[in-house]
Amino acid sequence: MKRVATASFIGTVIEFYDFGIYGTAAALVFPQVFFPALGEAAGTVASFATYGVAFVARPFGSILFGHFGDRLGRKKSLIATMLLMGLATILVGCMPTANQIGVAAPILIVVLRILQGLAAGGEFAGAVLFSSEHAPKGKRGFWSMFANFGGGGAITLANLTFFLTTLFMSGDTFTSWGWRIPFLASFLLVIVGLWIRLRIDETPVFKKNLEQAGTSRIPFIEAFKHQPLQVLLAAGTVLVGFTLTYAGGTYLVSYGTAVLELPRTFVLGMAMVGGLAISAGVVLGAVLSDRIGRRWVIVGAASVAVVWALALFPILDHGTRAGFAVGLPVTMFISGVATGPQGAFLAELFHTRYRYTAAGLSYSLAGMLGGGVPPLIAASVIDSFGGFAFGCILAGFCLVSVICVLVVGETRELDLERATAETAS
């Protein structure tokens, strides 16, 4: 289990480092690099729009890689997602600017961001299943957390890379070419990740199902035939994690530098602390879920998130470093607690024959709404109605998670090797 968890953790760190550095770059430099003619405000909106297209692509990636993950195995699909993510990320680092090739630059950036979205859509479910389908039942929450734990590590690593880059070069140099370094560095990380994943065997649950029941011909159709409501409710349940993670880890980086006018190095430093905070929250949420159940951990964290979302921008709008140092890490910690049980929750909810597809699709649908929408609309909503109004939107998203997980029920006692689809109780 330690070797499996390590492979899940490191692989997800690398995948979501690639995915996450785009968000940091979109907040810091892409408005100037790819949308200089639009001005600061419109350029920021356009930059986050290109960031958001990956979330639209994620459900399609879940269906694509989930199909092969359910038919050919978790391992092969995970290797494919890492190769695709790595290639797209390296090409972003090589991309000419709008001043060099004009309108072709943002178009190509959108294409590469779509490829990143497809890879991310196939990554999470596979990494979660890799751990959960190896894990003993009573510790499934703990062992399944390592994919999400890797996501927290990726946030820290991505912001650390940009922090060091900005620390040792001028702002003009960073905008000119320094932002490319984190993207090009992905090459070495991908090599490490592939070496690790190639050394791990296929999950025993998948191999047993393959021998006894065979694979689904079209997992996507089978999932919606047997558990359509569970797919949608699962998406609503994991919505809280996406909402807080991408509002806190991506938009607040832009908000801290552009609106609050805090130093870039300070904001990136707090973003690194946020990555550590979400990792700590993931561990706490996962461990608690093995003791009291997935449902009550998610309900508790999402309920706290509703209240915190309403308080967040009044705290930030004091404009002080102390307010930002509280606002961003606390947001990420609450997100981590809600996210900790989600790996086991998604694995337990769906049948083995279409588990990869269904779990990935639920997760990606939540990502499309909770991860893609808030950063995209935040600037215009705050500019027109103020930060509290945007906080109300975040609170509404978190409330959806409370309702959905109460409807789904508890999954902790469900068997991953069950022969037929079952619902939670």
Q: Rounded to the nearest 10 degrees, what angle do helices 74-93 and 104-132 cross at?
A: 150
- pTM equals 0.83
DSSP string, 77-145: HHHHHHHHHHHHHHHHHTPPPHHHHTTHHHHHHHHHHHHHHHHHHHHHHHHHHHHHTTS-GGGHHHHHT
- What pLDDT is attached to residue 418? 57
Q: Rounded to the nearest 10 degrees, what angle do helices 39-71 and 104-132 cross at?
A: 40
DSSP string, 215-250: --SSHHHHHHHH-HHHHHHHHHHTHHHHHHHHIIII
Q: Report the candidate in 6, 299, 283, 7 with the shortest Cα–Cα distance to residue 145.
A: 283
Q: Averaged in consecutive runs of 10 residues, what is the pLDDT profile of the chain (425 residues)?
A: 81 77 81 82 79 85 90 87 90 90 88 90 84 86 88 84 84 86 86 82 80 79 91 95 86 86 90 92 95 95 97 92 94 95 92 90 90 83 91 96 94 71 47
Q: Rounded to the nearest 10 degrees, what angle do helices 239-246 and 228-237 cross at?
A: 30
Q: Which tokens sit at 169?
A: 């070069």
Tell me, what amino acid is at 33?
V
Helix spans in 293-425 (H): 294-316, 321-339, 342-349, 355-366, 373-385, 387-408
- What pLDDT is attached to residue 301? 97
Q: Which tokens sit at 13?
A: 């760190």
